[in-house]
Structure 1
Amino acid sequence: MLSGIKAWLRHPKLMFARLRYAQISTKITCFYAAVLLLVLILTSTLTGLGVFFSFYHQAEVELEISMNHVLDVMEQGRSLDMDFGRDDLVLPGVVLRITDSRGKIVYENDSHYPPLRRIEEHTEKNPPFWANKNMQVVQLRNATLYHARMDVEYRGQVYNMHFFRTITAEKHFLETLQKILFLMTILGFFLALLAGFFVSRRILQPIREMTATARKIEVENMDKRIVVPPVRDELSELAQTFNHMLDRLEGGFEQQKRFVSDASHELRTPVTVILGYSDLLSRWGRADEAVLDEGISSIRSEAENMQQLIEKLLFLARADQNRQVLHKENIELSELLEDIMRKMQLVTKNHSVELLQNDDGMMYGDLVTVRQMFRIFLDNSTKYTPQGGRITVKSERVENEDGLFMQVALADNGIGIDKKDQQKVFERFYRVDTSRTKAQGVSGTGLGLSIASWIAQQHDIEIRLESELGKGTTIYLQIPLVS
């Protein structure tokens, strides 16, 4: 530490440049020590000056009181002889010496004081700024005197009155006090460095733990978390926020991995089929028209499936990046549902499709995506309902404490969804019991309900699903209406 201070004293600019890029704990320590050092220096300086002023002022007061008392005695007419000071003319510690115009001593109460010539020789030319300008400071070898002079005309003669006050003990005390304050300042500075070092390290320990945890985290290993300290402060809040961010990142990575895996799996099947039929056509398709027709039909079917899958993937990708544009406007739900159901009745020959109730209500949303959401739910009902099954839609206008809504119920009497799968059907690529759906002749990508769920979220539509195996599924949509 001492070597560092010496280096700083020799190259202050270099040290400041290094401090700029130092660790936060080092910056906190230096700042804390610098502030405390300034406070100590300011306190020591003010304390020293206050004591100096106090001692010198006390001496000045005693001299002034003594001078006034001597003048009062002279006004009483007491003769200037050795009997002049028969009572206490001056305060204890004050020495009075009276001389005539020729410099002869007329009276003095202490004969051990140096002669006036020596006192004049050792008078400070530049006394301390806290000393009285009307008094002089005399610095002898072993003593320091405060000297006040006053000329008085008494009984027709002029006398010089010299008042002395020894401040040697006070000066020694002040010098000792200065040394003590200086040592205390240096000691306080080093103690501040040590305390700041330990305190800053302790305070910043959670940040170092965050750094260590962040270094250990990789895409394949995101289960590390920071231990949140029990104290509710900014660092604990930062640790909680960091852990929450890691939870979201882990969930995002897991979703991305699953998404890539599922997308690869979904694309692998049609590509394999296309490659197989293209190989078949290259071998026997030129000579056999039946093989040629089958191959072309299968390749076209698989290409259409791939096109639909890619369009759904692109839709979800734009949604994840907030680039899916929605053109919202007022939509009359009764007209929209009537149009969707009419077209569905035209193309659906194996199911009974009915619009049981269709109340009027205006919603604010994107017409294309809202139509797409209804079609996804209805297409799912068609897929998972056996031939001869019944699909119904009921739209009812309701009002509660939260506002005005349209309650739309889309029901079927299809194969239903197991309770353990009902919370997962809106996840991407998730499909219920594959063996059971294949037995019904159903195939799909598992993306439709994810798209419908995203569209509902963008329009503040609440989705509720009720289903029972073998009895069918009902999806309830609570759509906010424009009042």
Structure 2
Amino acid sequence: MFNRLRYARISTKITCFYASVLLLVLILTSVLTGLGVYFSFYHQAEVEIEISMNHVLERMRQGRPMGDSFWRDDPVMPGVVLRITDLSGQVVYENDARYPSLQRIEGSSVKNPPFWANKNMQVAEVRNMTIYHAKMDVEYQGQIYQLHFFKTITAEKHFLETLQKILFLMTILGFLLALLAGYFVSKRILLPIREMTATARKIEVEKMDRRITVPPARDELSELADTFNHMLERLEIGFKQQQRFVSDASHELRTPVTVILGYSDLLSRWGRSDKEVLDEGISSIRSEAEDMQQLIEKLLFLARADQKRQVLHKERIELSELVEDVMRKMKLVTKTHSVDLLQNDEGVIYADQVTMRQMMRIFLENSVKYTPQGGHITARARRLPDGGHIMLELADDGIGIAKEDQQRVFERFYRVDASRTKADGGVSGTGLGLSIASWICEQHGIEISMESALGKGTKMLLKIPLAGEKPPAERKD
């Protein structure tokens, strides 16, 4: 049963839970009410018997003769029966001759009286009556007498039995009403969740524009709906980015594959007999294969970054030495542009040397690619007044970037129109380099900003944090 309830609907679980809680409360209330009433009645009878005993003993101590004057103004409480017997058991006095005999009462004594009864008194069950019985031995005028006090709880017993039946019926009725009310209330409460479920079932990957209606009440369900809608928006953006990524990657790979297939077909037909065709074909296939290799390496880098598997080996390094080394090598391989390091302040950073070098090369290669021959490419590393950062400026005087495109150049496969290429019509990029550079900056806590205008060049501003005496904690994604 518990296993079946474990896999039941939430509405069923809520109904059973609240019905069980109410049943437990009703049972405890009934039991405590019954015990309280029983204790109250027995205690009241006990008090009346004790008062009667005290009154009788007081008159005996006064030495009054046991005659009419002794029993005038009845010393016992109303409802309390008194019987006085001598040593032989003969009744000397009783205030109610119709009461059951002493032998019958003592013969009907309960062996295990209820815990709320006084341990110094007896409880007897005679017919439909419950009788409280207390006795005591006293010496009066040189003779020993035994005093028996009785208190009947007949009407109270009937009342208590009726009360028990009523409480039992109310408990059962309350439990059934709790089940019924819990069923309808839980259905009402969970109705928005069912509507959310129905809407979610209608949402497909191809049609993710549907949203869940947010309930007007600002409660947990409205928060759930808002959260679900926000998740759908992020999923929709993610699916669109994935579709665009696959489309762009396919487009980037289609061109070199087509070129390779074309030259392969050309070589199969005329390459064996024409050395010029053979050399051209091999050179072109190699060039396209190298472009494909670079593209695939960038895709793998971003894939590892997305899966948080791209390992960074951070250590304390001198930034000025790294900048100087990158600029020197850049100057050696770049013959068509002027490459200058204008300022190079010292500063120790905590970073991965390989990816930092890769990030700077990406920005510099972009400058070379989009700056006409004879243009100027400069780098400047200056320590900021706050003492905790170095601003690395990588600038060119190339064709620049329009303002509306500046926020999107870091998106994968995003490229500005075809005019943003080298003036001589050289190869354009894949649109992945700046995405990789942006990820590297993010992993090192580097803030990126850009200053650019069409025809006036581009300046990339990298605010790099310096390392303190202790290396900062590794970032945990």
TM over 0.5: yes
> Aligned-pair distance for 1:309?
1.2
Q: 1:416 aligns with which of 400, 419, 424?
A: 400
CA contact (8 A) 1:384 1:440 kept: no
Partner residue of 1:445?
A: 430
Match of 1:454 among 408, 416, 439: 439
Distance 1:67 1:379, change over 3 A: same
What is the deviation of 1:59?
Answer: 1.0
Deviates more, 1:188-197 or 1:277-286: 188-197
For 2:329 and 2:132, the matched residues in 1 are separated by: 116
The answer to whether the 8 A contact 1:425-1:449 is kept is: yes
Deviations 1:223-246 (A, max 9, x none): 344445566665555555444444
Aligned to 2:179: 193
5 Å-filtered alignment, 1:220-235, equals 220-228=206-214
SS of the aligned residue for 2:132 comes to strand
Corresponding residue number in structure 2 for 1:478? 463
Cα distance in 2 for residues equivalent to 1:374 and 1:30: 65
Give 1:71's aligned amino acid.
L
Give how far 1:139 is off.
3.3
* Pairing 1:288-303 to 2, within 5 Å after superposition: 288-303=274-289
Residues 367 and 83 of structure 1: CA distance in aligned 2, closer, same or farther (over 3 Å): closer
Segments of 5+ residues of structure 1 without an aligned counterpart are 1-14
Q: Deviations over 1:149-178 (max 9, x none)?
A: 334443344444332322212112211221
The equivalent of 2:373 in structure 1 is 387
Kept after mapping to 2: 8 A contact 1:465/1:474? yes
User: How much has 1:349 moved relative to structure 2?
Assistant: 2.8
CA distance in 1, matches of 2:347, 2:256: 43
Quickly say closer, same or farther: Cα 1:130–1:367, change in 2 above 3 A: closer
Superposition TM-score, scaled by structure 1 size: 0.87
Partner of 1:12: none
Residue in structure 2 matched with residue 5 of structure 1 by the alignment: none
Task: Render the CA deviation track for 1:95-123: whole Å, top value 9, x for unaligned.
Answer: 22334455554433333334445444544
Of residues 131-140 and 263-272 in structure 1, the stretch that sits farther from structure 2 once superposed is 131-140
Matched, 1:427 2:411: yes
Q: Distance in 2 between matches of 1:158 and 1:126?
A: 30
Task: Determine if contact 2:359/2:440 at 8 Å carries over to the other structure.
Answer: yes
In structure 2, the partner of 1:146 is: 132
Moved more, 323-332 or 432-441: 432-441
Give 1:273 shift. Answer: 1.0
Once the two structures are superposed, what CA deviation does each residue of 1:205-226 show, in whole Å capped at 9, x if it has no partner? Answer: 5554554454344332333444
Aligned twin of 2:2: 16
Indicate whether 1:310 and 2:258 are aligned: no
Sequence identity, in percent? 77
> Matches of 2:348 and 2:145 in 1, distance apart?
115
| Shift in alpha-carbon separation, 1:264–1:49, aligned structure 2, 3 A | same
Is the contact made by 1:274 and 1:299 (CA closer than 8 Å) also made in structure 2? yes
Q: Indicate which of 30, 33, 51 corresponds to 2:16.
A: 30
Instruction: Letter of the 1:52 partner, please give it.
Output: Y
Query: Aligned-pair distance for 1:459?
Result: 1.5
Contact residue 135 and residue 149 of structure 2 kept, 8 A: yes
Equivalence for 1:334:
320
Aligned residues of 1:82 and 1:107 also touching (Cα < 8 A)? no
Contact 2:372/2:422 (8 A) holds in 1: no
Report which stretch shifted further, 350-359 or 136-145. Answer: 136-145
Matched, 1:286 2:272: yes
Residues 138, 147 of structure 1: 8 Å contact kept: yes
**Inter-CA distance 252–18: structure 2 relative to 1 (3 Å threshold):** same
**2:72 corresponding residue in structure 1:** 86
Asked if the contact 2:371–2:422 (Cα under 8 Å) also holds between the matched residues in 1, the reply is no
Tell me how far 1:255 sits from its aligned partner: 2.0
| CA RMSD of superposed structures (Å) | 2.8
Instruction: Select the residue among 52, 58, 63 that pairs with 1:77.
Output: 63
Aligned residues of 1:461 and 1:479 also touching (Cα < 8 A): yes
* Equivalence for 1:4: none
Unaligned runs of 5+ in 2: 469-477
* SS of residue paired to 1:331: strand
Residue 478 of structure 1: how far off its partner (Å) = 1.2
Residues of 2 paired with 1:143 and 1:321: CA distance?
84
**Residue by residue, what CA displacement relative to the aligned partner does 1:312-354 show, whole Å, maximum 9, x if unpaired?**
1122122222222222223333333333333333332332222
- Letter of the 1:463 partner, please give it: I
1:39 lines up with 2:38 in the alignment:
no
The question of whether the paired residues in 1 share the 8 Å contact of 2:317 and 2:350 is answered with yes
State the secondary structure of the residue aligned to 1:399.
coil
SS state of the match for residue 137, structure 1?
strand
Rounded Cα–Cα distance in structure 1 between residues aligned with 2:397 and 2:43: 106
Letter in 2 for 1:310: I
Q: CA deviation at 1:124?
A: 4.0
Shift of 1:422: 1.0
1:270 Cα deviation from its structure 2 partner: 0.8
What is the aligned length?
467
2:338–2:374 contact (8 Å) kept in structure 1: yes
Of the candidates 115, 136, 155, which is equivalent to residue 122 of structure 2?
A: 136
Which of 40, 46, 52 lines up with 1:54 in the alignment? 40
Equivalent of residue 159 in structure 2, options 147, 169, 173: 173
Please state how far the C-alpha of 1:382 moved relative to its aligned partner: 1.3
For residues 330 and 68 of structure 1, the distance between their equivalents in structure 2, rounded to whole angstroms, comes to 98
Q: Quote how far apart the aligned CAs of 1:464 are.
A: 0.8
**What is the CA distance between 1:425 and its match in structure 2?**
0.7
Q: CA deviation at 1:55?
A: 0.9
